[in-house]
Amino acid sequence: MTGPTDPTDTPPRLRLRGMRRSFGPVVAVRDVDLDVAPGSVHALLGENGAGKSTLMNVVYGLHRRDEGSIEVDGTPVDVVRPADAIAAGLAMVHQHHMLVPSLTVAETVSLATPGRRVRWDRGAAAGRVAELAGSLGLDIDPDDRIEELTLAGRQRVEILTAVHRDAKLLILDEPTAVLAPSEVEPFFELLRRMAAAGRSIVLITHRLREVFAVCDAISVMRRGALVFSAPTARTTTAEVLGHLVPAAAPDGVTDAATGAVKPHPDAAARRPGAAGGPGSAGGIVLEVQGLRAPSAPGSTGLDDCSFSVGGGEILGIAGVEGNGQGELVRVLAGMAASPGGRITVDGEQLTGRPPRDRIAVVPEDRHHDGLVLDLTVEENLVLDHLGDYTRLGLLQAGAMKKDATAAVDEYGIVTASTSSPVRSMSGGNQQKIVLARALSGRPRVLVVAQATRGLDPGAAGAVLDRIRAARDRGTAVVFIGSDLDEVLSVSDRVAVLFGGRIVGEAPASTGRAAVTAWMVGSEPEQSPEKRPEEDPA
């Protein structure tokens, strides 16, 4: 499949042919052909793990390509290292900025530009940077230190650096992820100005709305392959969405390339009652109303987020990351307060940190929030209820070991000993420890965020089985995930978090199309009155 070919004789700014890259058995980028026209903004769309970032990392020389050719302005370029890409006029701005915090903007920009002279004229450099920033319409003081800048400011510095180097093609990896909503529009104007000045921009994103706002051309990747490429003017949201999420995709299919989903073709059929809505199985257990959390860069925060979950039900919370998932977990875990919001479990309103027999949380980042890696298995398993294992201030080592051994058996945790540190264990075993601890308090509500992230398929399946088992025992489960296939296969009902609120709910058997539309902020094709009521009285 080829990208849109330029009818004129001008060679494309970037021409990729047969690009391929595997990581072990996983083909991350599969025979991609792509053309990016000069002076254009080209969107590269795809879900998480579709291969967008990998493809661009290969182009930029961060990963070696297995096969394929790269041409810049008609000249073949052999990119082995980033230096080759830079020499060819490419620049890449990553999601995580790579700048020295204590340098000033002028120093940063100058450093990144290979110079010939030994002497560095601070004043002249600052003047050049200020002039360049002015020409781009960027509000940047050359004497500001990087550490004083917001993430958006640092992003502007990286872009400024690329322009200062006179890069012909800028690759921006999810640039809007670090921007507050109000910063997005000026950012798009900047992209337009740079394109008008003849530079090409590849915009990696998964936000469909942005694409139609600024891009000249759109390419879609799915499971490592480029499945669609067209000028924006000649396509529609529906068409792009169709390529992004093929309607034919069966429910909960296993994706050999990216993932981890255990096939559950009859997730809904297995629990016929659960698909009907909250409480159809065991009455409403968790009710969340009007949660709010401030918006941080890269996230929309929470804005009037409401939903409810029945006992013995898994409510999947789907959504593009950064739409409030992190805040939702923190509020449910009692780590952050929600002004005006209400969380009730079995009709009893909770404030502050919920008791562990009410709500237990498996946080998204198990290394950061879930585990203390250098503590032992025993210690990690009891960290949130140490009081149960303490007599006169002394830890009851025997009881800890006994219960840890039981948990290791029950959850199939592979470890040399219950007194080995958690750090040496595989991600799957670590996640089982977090889950075992959460469930050991017999919580009424289990909140799981990104349950299988980074796990191999076997471990992911085992973790999901545990979550289903908890559901079958009557626990209300909130399953927050960014892998839609997984969310659909595990959940009885799916709610979509967009812009910090639940914008739609449907039985998991509904299929992907409606859910995906909600995820990108548009209405599904079906009639609006089919949407479940959002504000139960």
Partner 1 sequence: MSGLKHRPPADAASATPAEGLQLPRGSKVAAVLLRLLDHSWVSLVAAFAISAPIGLVLIASTGADPWFATLVTIDATVGTVNGIVNTLVYAAPRLFVALGAIVALRTGLFNLGGEGQLQMGALGAIIGGYYAASILPGWLGIPAALVGAVLFGGLWAGIAALFKLWRGADEMIVTLLLNFIATYFVLFLIQGPLRAVNSSFNQSERVPQTSELPALFGTRLHAGVILAIIVTVLVAVFLSRTRLGLELRSVGLNAAASRFQGLPIAALTVGALVVSGGIAGLAGANEVLGTQFRLIQGFSPGYGFEGLAIAFLAGLRPFRAAVLALVFGGIYSAATLLQQYAGVPVSIAYVVEGIPIVLLATFSGLQLLRAKRRKG
Determine if 402 is a binding residue for partner 1 (CB under 8 A). Answer: no
Mark the segment that binds partner 1 (CB under 8 A) among 30-38, 153-161, 384-392, 499-507.
Answer: 384-392
Task: Give SS3 for 61.
Answer: coil
| CB closer to partner 1, 159 vs 446 | 446
First to last CA, the chain: 52
Residues 445, 471 contacting (CB under 8 angstroms) = no
Task: Give least dist CB 238 to partner 1, A.
Answer: 42
Task: Give least dist CB 447 to partner 1, A.
Answer: 12
| CB closer to partner 1, 6 vs 384 | 384
Give CA 402 to chain center in angstroms.
38
Task: Give least dist CB 353 to partner 1, A.
Answer: 5
| CB closer to partner 1, 361 vs 517 | 361
Binding partner 1 (rule: CB under 8 A), the pick from 363, 461, 504, 524 is 363
Determine if 395 is a binding residue for partner 1 (CB under 8 A). Answer: yes
CA distance 368 to 335: 14
Task: Give least dist CB 390 to partner 1, A.
Answer: 4
| CB closer to partner 1, 257 vs 375 | 375
Determine if 499 is a binding residue for partner 1 (CB under 8 A). Answer: no
Q: Which two tokens stand for residue 267?
A: 């997730």
Q: Which residues contact 227 (CB under 8 A, 6 or more apart)?
A: 1, 220, 221, 243
Determine if 147 is a binding residue for partner 1 (CB under 8 A). Answer: no
* Number of residues binding to partner 1, judged by CB under 8 A: 26
| CB closer to partner 1, 286 vs 371 | 371
CA distance 79 to 65: 9
| CB closer to partner 1, 247 vs 397 | 397
Q: Which of residues 285-344 bind partner 1 (CB under 8 A)?
A: 333-335
Determine if 399 is a binding residue for partner 1 (CB under 8 A). Answer: no
Task: Give least dist CB 164 to partner 1, A.
Answer: 27
Cβ neighbours of 114 (radius 10 Å):
9
CA distance 436 to 433: 5
Task: Give least dist CB 438 to partner 1, A.
Answer: 10
- Work out the burial of residue 396: count CB atoms within 10 Å of its CB; fewer than 13 is exposed, 13-18 middle, 19 or more buried: middle
Mark the segment that binds partner 1 (CB under 8 A) among 108-116, 244-252, 364-372, 496-504.
Answer: 364-372
Q: Which of residues 14-53 bind partner 1 (CB under 8 A)?
A: none
Closest C-alpha among 486, 488, 366, 503 to residue 432: 366
CA distance 20 to 30: 5
Q: Which of residues 408-437 bind partner 1 (CB under 8 A)?
A: 423
Determine if 130 is a binding residue for partner 1 (CB under 8 A). Answer: no
| CB closer to partner 1, 245 vs 333 | 333
Binding partner 1 (rule: CB under 8 A), the pick from 130, 296, 375, 399 is 375
Determine if 62 is a binding residue for partner 1 (CB under 8 A). Answer: no
Task: Give least dist CB 442 to partner 1, A.
Answer: 17
Binding partner 1 (rule: CB under 8 A), the pick from 146, 245, 371, 449 is 371
Task: Give least dist CB 337 to partner 1, A.
Answer: 14
Dihedral over Cα of 209, 212, 214, 216: its sign: positive
Task: Give least dist CB 366 to partner 1, A.
Answer: 9
Determine if 136 is a binding residue for partner 1 (CB under 8 A). Answer: no
Query: Distance of CA 393 to CAs 356, 372, 386, Å?
Result: 21, 21, 10
Name the one residue in this structure whose structure tokens are 């590849």. 202
What letters, b where the CB count within 10 A reaches 16 and e where it falls short, cover 439-450?
Answer: bbbebbbbbbbb
Task: Give SS3 for 431.
Answer: helix
Task: Give least dist CB 453 to partner 1, A.
Answer: 16
Task: Give least dist CB 354 to partner 1, A.
Answer: 10
Instruction: Count how many Cα atoms sit within 13 Å of the Cα of residue 429 in the half-sphere of its side chain.
Output: 19
Q: Which two tokens stand for residue 162?
A: 């690329």
- Work out the burial of residue 2: count CB atoms within 10 Å of its CB; fewer than 13 is exposed, 13-18 middle, 19 or more buried: exposed
Interacting residue ranges for partner 1, rule: CB under 8 A: 333-335, 353, 361, 363, 368-375, 379, 383-384, 386-387, 389-390, 393-395, 397, 423
